[in-house]
A and B are shown apart, each in its own frame.
Chain A
Amino acid sequence: MPNYEAGGRVYEVDEDGFLQDPDLWSDDVAKDFMSTEGISELTEEHWKVIHYIRNYYLQFGIAPMVRKVCKQTGFSLKEIYNLFPSGPAKGACKLAGLPKPTGCV
């Protein structure tokens, strides 16, 4: 299993660089992983998306629909791409400590 080191911490990640054990998430994970997603600073807007996704995941065990993320956070998809350049399914989910989305999505 590959490791990822940042902020003086070592994380076990999967082949795609997602946190191996989603239960080990904290705000630190988002801060430590942001550079892998080309993000230099986590603003309030980033946190709004991350926390929404995280809470949805805790309730349903999967990532929320992209449309839902937009509606609930009030950001357009374009704005979300501006916040997370690799998109909501990859970038935002990674920072929220979710596994990489699966299936035909």
Chain B
Amino acid sequence: MKKKIKLSDMSMPVKEPLIHLEGKDLMPLPPPLDNPQEQAGLAPLSPQVVESCECFLDDTCVVNLPQPKTREEEKELVGKFLSGLEKLFNRENNWTFLQPLVLTMEHCTKCQTCSDACHIFEASGRNELYRPTFRTEIVRRLYFKYVKGGGLLSAWQHGDIQLNWPLVARLVELSYRCNLCRRCAQACPIGADNGLVARELRKLFSQEMGITAKELHDKGSMLQLKVGSSTGMNAAAVKDNVEFIDEDTSERSGIEVKTPWDVEGADILLIHNAGEIVAWPENPGAFALILNAAGISWTLSSELAGYDSINYGVFYDDAQFARVAIKHAEAARKLKVKKIVLGECGHAHKALTVIADRVLTGDLNIPRESSMTLLRDIVMNGKLKFDPSRNDFPVTLHDPCNLVRLMGIVEPQREILRRLCPQFREMEPHGVQNYCCGGGSGFAIMSGNNFPDWRFKVSGRKKLEQVLNVFEDCLDPSIPKYVCAPCSNCKGQFRDMFAYYDLWEKHRILYGGLVELIANAMVDVQPGFLQWEWR
């Protein structure tokens, strides 16, 4: 039976989780996943982790923060947290996000409209810990008590909170229980942004305390700034891989494909999420095929970070964000291209086209465009011939949050699918009302401990329900089905989640990008570009 937790529980100095997630408490799934086997909770954490790490929030652990050895160490960390918190509310230190953050602190009326909008809260069986305002209310109380000076009257008006190490340690983990999809912010009548609060907490932990998820920092942005890509590919490795992709695509399509590298003065610098090159080579392959056929002047760059659009700083750290965004713009400036086009990666879109606007000045402020609009123009301008009957299978579209809700790029990808996929069908809800895949804010690449269990059972549950519902009439494995997800991170989540629930083996539900469907329908390409095999 689930116990209702209180805000004050977060400060409890006990070395045990505040909640346990039991399968029967979670939101029920539709058929075929409505059987009792799907009712198990999360696998237990290893004794080693429980003994050494701060993992006393719920049944999982992302950050693996070592437990402090002494009281002094704890005190020092709490001090750092407090000075970091003050910085978050100071124009000099947080000019980027101060305004929406203060608005969220000062004006929330606790109407809970946001709670109904949150897929994690709903999927967890409405567990208080995951209520979007739970995390925010703790930060709000700390804000009124410590940043605004507090006092008795303030504690009475805004509620009190005990600041100690257990609270800070639990907040670290709780800042990684939100996908930053910001559906809550969209639903809020006054625009309070609980997603931003989670993100700003992560920023505080990273910038002020050196506490990060290793996948985002050490093995993410740091690796990217060191060797050129978060995948670890240096320039030689990426060129070797793309050469292989060119051969593979030529073979598959029957059209000789050559990817241009470092072409000075090209119209377009295309930047892929480098994960595509490593894990989903048919995607960059299809891009090359389409752009070449359309006669576009384009190039890839082999500059440091110029071939990897990821910018994980958007999920946890402003400084890392700016470092990477500048590298991207510098790669474009060096090649004197007219604009940068982002491949199929949601967070890279939002990072470079929107947020970086505040970082890129002067000649670094090079025009940036989404591949969605470019591809729409190519498909709709009539230059290329398409045979939609090659895509005559059920196709649905996943809306990556960063691309759709948070940038408003809603229609171009749909125009393409309506034109090229006779059995295109929408999930409900969709567009800017979409649900996150459950892998948002970098979760898709976090697979430490039992966190994948949480991703597939909780954060991905709502999307899983949507996918099962949209294919309700054609779950039979004799009918191949395609979830089009124009985002690397979302694809990673779909791949792992579909494998977890065996949806490919049992029901032939496959996932993939948008360009693969375009290439598959091109008349000049030999039939069968899209291969129905697990990837």
Contacts and interface: CB of A to CB of B under 8 A. Distances in A.
Interface of A: 2, 15-16, 60-63, 65-68, 71, 76-78, 89, 99, 101-105
B402 interface: no
B237 A61 contact: yes
Given A102-B232, A103-B275, A104-B345, A60 B444 contact: no
B366 interface: no
B48 interface: yes
Given A102-B230, A103-B230, A65 B448 contact: no
A102 B231 contact: yes
Interface in B246-299: 248, 273-279, 281
Interface string B217-241: 0011001100101111110110011
Nearest to A67: B281
B535 A77 contact: yes
B237 A66 contact: no
A105 to B, nearest CB: 4
Nearest to B276: A104
17 contacts: A16-B448, A60-B234, A60-B236, A60-B237, A61-B232, A62-B232, A65-B279, A67-B281, A77-B533, A77-B534, A101-B232, A102-B215, A102-B220, A102-B445, A103-B310, A104-B444, A104-B445
Nearest to B348: A104
The 3 closest A-B pairs by CB, nearest first: A104-B275, A103-B230, A103-B231
B273 A67 contact: no
Nearest to A68: B244
B470 to A, nearest CB: 25
Given A65-B281, A77-B533, A102-B445, 10 more contacts: A2-B48, A66-B278, A77-B534, A102-B220, A103-B220, A103-B229, A103-B230, A103-B445, A104-B276, A104-B310
A63 B215 CA distance: 17
B194 interface: no
B180 to A, nearest CB: 15
A2 B232 CA distance: 24
B279 A102 contact: no
Interface centre among B232, B237, B248, B308 (most CB of A within 10 A): B232
B349 to A, nearest CB: 13
Nearest to B229: A103
Contact of B277 (A63, A65, A78): A65
B309 to A, nearest CB: 10
B404 to A, nearest CB: 18
Contacts of B310: 103-104
B274 to A, nearest CB: 6
Nearest to B248: A67
A65 B233 CA distance: 11
B533 A103 contact: no
Given A67-B281, A102-B215, A62 B231 contact: yes
B279 A66 contact: yes
A2 B240 CA distance: 35
A76 B449 CA distance: 29
A67 B241 CA distance: 10
A76 B281 contact: no
A67 B244 contact: yes
Nearest to A81: B534
Contacts of A68: 241, 244
Contact of A104 (B214, B230, B240, B241): B230
A19 B415 CA distance: 48
A103 B205 CA distance: 21
A25 B330 CA distance: 39
Contacts of A103: 219-220, 223-224, 229-232, 274-275, 278, 308, 310, 445
Contacts of A2: 48
B512 interface: no
B275 A105 contact: yes
A43 to B, nearest CB: 22
A16 B448 CA distance: 6
B33 to A, nearest CB: 22
Contact of A78 (B231, B447, B534): B534
B278 to A, nearest CB: 5
A69 to B, nearest CB: 11
Contacts of B438: none
A98 to B, nearest CB: 10
Contacts of A66: 278-279, 535
Nearest to A76: B533
B431 interface: no
